[in-house]
Amino acid sequence: MSKVASHSPASLWKNGEWPNFADQVPHKSSDVIIVGAGIAGLTSAYLMAMEGLRVTVLEASQPGEGETGNTSAHLSSALDDRFTELEELFGEEGSFLAAESHRWAIDIIESICLRENIDCGFERVDGYLFSTEEAENEELRKEFEAAKRAGFQDLEMLPAPPLRSQKQGAAIRFPNQAQFHPLKYLKGLSAAVQKYGGNILLNHEVIDIHGHAAPYTLTTRQGTTHTAAHVVVATNSPFNNRFVMHTKQAAYRTYILTFAIEAGSVNKALYWDMKDPYHYVRLYQPNEHQTLLIVGGEDHKTGQSEDPDQSFEKLETWTRKHFPEAGDIVTRWSGQVLEPVDCLAFIGRNPGDEQLYIVTGDSGHGLTHGTIAGMLLNDLVHKRNNPWEKLYDPGRKAKSFSSLKEFLKENINVALQYRDYFSPADLSRPGEVPIGEGAIVRHGLQKLAVYRDHDNELHTLSAVCPHLGGIVRWNKVEKTWDCPCHGSRFSCKGEVINGPAISNLNKAELH
């Protein structure tokens, strides 16, 4: 067993205590209901409650339980899809506005930390985008020029990033990037939402939103109903929009490892290479005795890897080459990234709705995109102009040949996944499924998702994804069923973990 495989997946951030939310008195009706208590939902709630709106946040489980808790927590305005690409897609002005919105997002996180006294380790650091081979240097030089046009003031082109291994080529230094502990930040934000009169109701899983105009009525799996003039769906993948938005973005798994290192052996900064998918690196000090190097990357489309363990293994190999200071692996986890076909998130009115808003397409910048959502949606709710409204409009059309090409590529890929109806199963009989594992088994005309738990009990489910009928696949690292079409994920026993599906895999009988 490799060193990597011996660690069960667990995010570094999800280990703290949460305040008690139980004694909240819900508003009879709200000005705004926000679905989801990740960074997008809670930033929106905070800014709206501060302006005096009656805000209710409905959260299916705990704040940050979704992708906010799975990030590596880089706060960067150096956008990973690159300013050369953004200029091609949105012109120089669009590229400038995109960079500006992420700079503002970092600034506003900093000012919220100061105003609300949130102790989440927020700190400014430099970011380095570096090449690892000669052929990337020309691309890097073009990115340097495009980033300057996008409004970066103090950029520097360097012969190399400040790393010991000297395995890297030239680098751009982006000043004024930042890092923090994302769930400590969410805790502070939750307390501040409540201070300004907002409600945060946990274990309220919204399963339906009725109406296309105000007032909207929301129903939860727990049987409660709630009404509001405005609704924000901040659930990473918008469950209310069953089809259109999922043709404009694709779900990817991304992998993260943390390594013990000696304090001071790597300069504190953010680091990104230029590969596709790229690698991302930062430092974190959980206490005065421990320093960790957090390294992420090796992404693949959700449900489309034969062996996700290989992603962790490749990540370890890459890390040891570029950061020889890395010691033992401390923990590992993975997260879900929604990649829009044209690089920028979708934040604004759900197409066809006047006062129902969505936030999705985090594109590897979930923390800043989530914060931008708070600022932008607060302006839309208040009917104020916002300079980023058009740029992030969920109804925008693909503007260039390259985004149209990406749109077609992703949708052809989805269509091809439906071949699984006719492909052979993993195993021919449920009895062959090993303990602690899952496999797809054919049963007559049906495909079944079969998991055998550690008490030797078989859990037999339909393999058909309840979103739009894809056939799920077993993820042996995370012990989940992942849909290769639009990224819905389910626990080994079939409970939904990631949307767009909102219901569990159906139970199936063997007869």
Tell me which residues touch ligand FES (CB under 6 A). 465, 467-470, 483, 485-488, 500-501
Rank residues 89 and 483 by Cβ distance to ligand FES and give the closer one: 483
| CA neighbor of 151 nearest in space, from 231, 96, 222 | 96
Rank residues 186 and 505 by Cβ distance to ligand FES and give the closer one: 505
Shortest Cβ distance from residue 452 to ligand FES (Å)?
23
Rank residues 294 and 449 by Cβ distance to ligand FES and give the closer one: 449
Shortest Cβ distance from residue 246 to ligand FES (Å)?
6
Q: How far apart are CA 291 and CA 285, in angstroms?
A: 5
Shortest Cβ distance from residue 403 to ligand FES (Å)?
21
Shortest Cβ distance from residue 501 to ligand FES (Å)?
6
Q: Give the containing element (helix H, strand E) for 403.
A: helix 401-417
**Which residues are within 8 A (CB) of 160 and not within 5 positions of it... i.e. 6 or more apart?**
130, 166, 168, 169, 170, 171
Rank residues 329 and 465 by Cβ distance to ligand FES and give the closer one: 465
Distance (Å) of CA 122 to CA 180, 240, 371? 4, 34, 15
CB-based burial, 398-410: b 16+ in 10 Å, e otherwise: beeeebeebbeeb
**Beta strands in 150-248, from DSSP E residues, in sequence order:** 156-158, 171-179, 199-201, 206-210, 216-220, 225-233
Rank residues 291 and 498 by Cβ distance to ligand FES and give the closer one: 498
Shortest Cβ distance from residue 470 to ligand FES (Å)?
3
Shortest Cβ distance from residue 420 to ligand FES (Å)?
11
Rank residues 401 and 422 by Cβ distance to ligand FES and give the closer one: 422
Rank residues 85 and 362 by Cβ distance to ligand FES and give the closer one: 362
Nearest-5° Cα angle at 437, 434 to 441: 80
CB-based burial, 116-138: b 16+ in 10 Å, e otherwise: bebebebeebbbbbbbbeeebee
Q: How far apart are CA 173 and CA 191, in angstroms?
A: 36
Structure tokens at 383: 């009917």
**Which residues are within 8 A (CB) of 276 and not within 5 positions of it... i.e. 6 or more apart?**
none
Q: Give the containing element (helix H, strand E) for 281.
A: strand 280-287
Rank residues 370 and 500 by Cβ distance to ligand FES and give the closer one: 500
Shortest Cβ distance from residue 486 to ligand FES (Å)?
3
Q: How far apart are CA 89 and CA 408, in angstroms?
A: 16
Shortest Cβ distance from residue 474 to ligand FES (Å)?
15
Shortest Cβ distance from residue 335 to ligand FES (Å)?
17
Rank residues 196 and 418 by Cβ distance to ligand FES and give the closer one: 418
| 193: exposed, middle or buried (Cβ count in 10 Å: 0-12, 13-18, 19+) | buried
DSSP string for residues in 265-276? SS-SSEEE--SS
Rank residues 53 and 483 by Cβ distance to ligand FES and give the closer one: 483
Any idea how long the chain is? Answer: 511
Asked if 361 and 338 touch (Cβ cutoff 8 Å), the reply is yes
Rank residues 191 and 468 by Cβ distance to ligand FES and give the closer one: 468
Shortest Cβ distance from residue 221 to ligand FES (Å)?
19
As a whole number of Å, the end-to-end CA separation of the chain is 38
Q: Residue 195's CB: how many other CB atoms inside 10 A? A: 12
Structure tokens at 50: 């501060």
Rank residues 52 and 469 by Cβ distance to ligand FES and give the closer one: 469
Shortest Cβ distance from residue 500 to ligand FES (Å)?
6
* Residue 371 DSSP symbol: H
Q: Give the containing element (helix H, strand E) for 195.
A: helix 182-195
Shortest Cβ distance from residue 439 to ligand FES (Å)?
18
